[in-house]
Each structure stands twice: as structure tokens, then as C-alpha cells.
Amino acid sequence: MGILIIGSVLLASCNLPRATPTIAPTLPAQTVVALTVEYLLTQSAALTPKPPATQPPTLSPTNPAPSATLPPLETATPTVASTPIMCDRGTFIDDVTVPDGTQFSPGTTFIKTWRLKNNGSCTWTSGYKLVFINGNSMEGPASVAFPASVAPQQTIDLSVTLKAPASDGTYEGFWMLENASGVRFGLGANADKQFWVKIKVGNATQPAFAVTSIGMSATPASHSGTCPVTITFTGAVTASAPGTVTYYWEQNDGARTGLKSIEFTSAGTLNVSHTWSVGSPGSSLNGWARIYVDAPNHQYFDKANFSITCSP
């Protein structure tokens, strides 16, 4: 029905008088360009897709929330208290003479020397002693005073004169140190270890070649007058058989000569000598020199003592 009405209206309009068309006024060229640009911008804005709204990031184990950077914590370094060093403590360095197992004939006198190091914090003074503790004393003294002071980390040679027992066998004697207050101490970390001399006594395996004695003398043995003075020491070395004896001289000031040798073509006695220029104006001195037999005995013998008084 609606379609019939619209068609009737259209047919009727065809018979109506036509109106004179209205001509739109002509616009200036600048206005046309402006309108065209405005239209294009409007259409472009309508067609440009808008960015999606910003969403907060999704947090996950692989995308953790950012954390604020904090300055590193200052950690205090723990202070470790140092262990104090014991006052009196020693370390064994060497058997200078009579290594363990050295063999002697019954009744032989010998000198045992240990080299020890002061690894405590106190100086060993001349008031310190080498003391016998237990075992076989081998007729040695109960104690021997230190010949000099020994600062920490320095070494000293301590000697004692002993005598091999009269019967064959193996013998040991144990020794320690004693400070000026009478307190005994020894070796090791806790200063409780003893040191020892260990010998064998018997003629059956005594070496055929050995130095059996050395007679010692000093010339002059005493002197009073102008100094320095030259002391000449003589050692009468007696050997039991042919062979080569190696030895060195040692003085009470700690000086030593190089290793020397003397050749025996048969059993007997040969003399060796050593000189020492000593003393200064106005001084006085008691001293000694001795021989250490490196081979075949590894042994000290007696000292040659002297005394001098120097004029000013």
C-alpha cells in the first residue's frame, strides 16, 4: 500500500510546473582549498585507530614487579683475636754432635751439643739453664748455665760434658730448659717436650779408626799488657789407626773456621794449631777455643782456655 502511494505522488509531480534552478554562488578558490583540507583532516582523524588504553603490566614469576635499588649493606669484618705467643718455648734444630746411636767405648768422655731455637716471646738470658730431667745422666751435671742471651727467633748451641757408662748397652738421657725463675720448659707448641742424648756403649763394633783424644793448650794462657794479643791454640790429635780426620776450630765468641783435614798414616798423635788476635785497650776477657771432630767421631773434645787483661 505504501508503495502505491509513493508511486502516485511521483506521477503527479511530473505534471507540475518546473521551478527555475537556483545556481549556487561561486566561492573563492582559497575558501574551497581550506574547506577541502578541513574535510580531509576530519576524515583522517576518524579513520586513524586509537591506541588501546594503557593497562597495568601483568606480574608473573618471569616478570616480577620492579624493586627499588637499595645501597649495599655494610658488613663488619669480624676481628679475630690473635693467640699470644708463649714466653718460653724452644724448637729443636740439630744434633751438632753425637747423633742418636753414636757408639762409644765404656767410660769414654764426650760432649753432646744440641742446637735449639728460641721461638717464644721472651729472651733467654744467662740466667737460663740446661737441666737434666731423667734417664741416664751419664755422669753429667744437674744443670748448665746458658753461655749467652738468646733473643726470640735466634738459635743457640747448648753443650754438656758426659761420660759413657761402663757397661755395654744403649743409654738415653733426657733434658729440658729452665728460666731464671726456676720454671722448666721444653720444645713443641706447648713447650712440654724433652730432648735427649742417645748412645750405644760397647767395644765389639767400635770403628777401627777413631780420634781417641785431643790434648789442648793456649799460648799465652794468660796475658796482661798491650792488646790486641795473638793467642795460639794447639791440639794434639790422637787417632787409633790410619785414616783422614776432618775437623774445625770453634771460639767462644761463636766464630768457626772452615772444615780442615789431617791425614794419619798410622795410629799416633799429630798436632794442629789455630791463632786468634783478641782484646782491646782497657778490656779484659776470659775465653776458649776447641776442636770439633767431624769425621770419624762427630765429637767435641776439651777446650783450651785463656784470660787477658789489656792496659788502657
Q: What is the pLDDT of residues 7-65, one digit of tens each?
A: 444 444 444 444 444 444 444 544 444 455 455 555 555 555 555 555 555 555 555 55
Entry pTM: 0.54
Q: Which of 160, 238, 167, 155 is nearest to 203 (CA)?
A: 167
Give, in order, the Cα–Cα distances in Å from 213 to each of 172, 252, 269.
Answer: 23, 21, 9
Q: Backbone phi, then psi, for 220, in 5-degree steps?
A: -75, 150
Report d(CA 251, CA 235) in Å as an integer: 14
Q: pLDDT of 9-24, one tens digit each?
A: 444 444 444 444 444 4
Start-to-end C-alpha separation, the chain? 165
| Per-residue confidence (pLDDT) for residue 297, from 0 to 100 | 84
Q: Which amino acid is at 199?
A: I
Lookup result for grid cell 782456655: 305
pLDDT greater at residue 57 or residue 202: 202
Asked if pLDDT for residue 220 goes beyond 70, the answer is yes
User: Region 292-299: what's the mean pLDDT?
Assistant: 90
Which pLDDT band holds residue 268 (cuts at 50, 70, 90)?
very high
Q: Which of 264, 252, 251 is nearest to 296 (CA)?
A: 264
How high does pLDDT run on average in the chain? 82
Which pLDDT band holds residue 151 (cuts at 50, 70, 90)?
very high
Report d(CA 308, CA 67) in Å as an integer: 90
Which pLDDT band holds residue 96 (cuts at 50, 70, 90)?
confident
For 277: left if phi > 0, alpha if psi spans -120 to 50, otherwise beta; the answer is beta
Lookup result for grid cell 627499588: 68
Asked if pLDDT for residue 112 goes beyond 70, the answer is yes
Buried b (16+ CB within 10 A) or exposed e, 258-282: eeeebebeeeeeeebebebebbeee
Give, in order, the Cα–Cα distances in Å from 168 to each of 103, 172, 202, 299.
Answer: 10, 13, 5, 20
| Per-residue confidence (pLDDT) for residue 262, from 0 to 100 | 96
| Per-residue confidence (pLDDT) for residue 298, from 0 to 100 | 86
Q: Which amino acid is at 182?
A: G
Q: Which domains does the chain have, with CATH numbers?
A: 90-201 (2.60.40.10), 211-310 (2.60.40.1930)
- The answer to whether the peptide bond before residue 228 is cis (omega within 30 degrees of 0) is yes
Asked if pLDDT for residue 1 goes beyond 60, the answer is no
Q: pLDDT of 152-179, one tens digit each?
A: 999 999 999 999 999 999 999 999 999 9
Asked if pLDDT for residue 241 goes beyond 50, the answer is yes
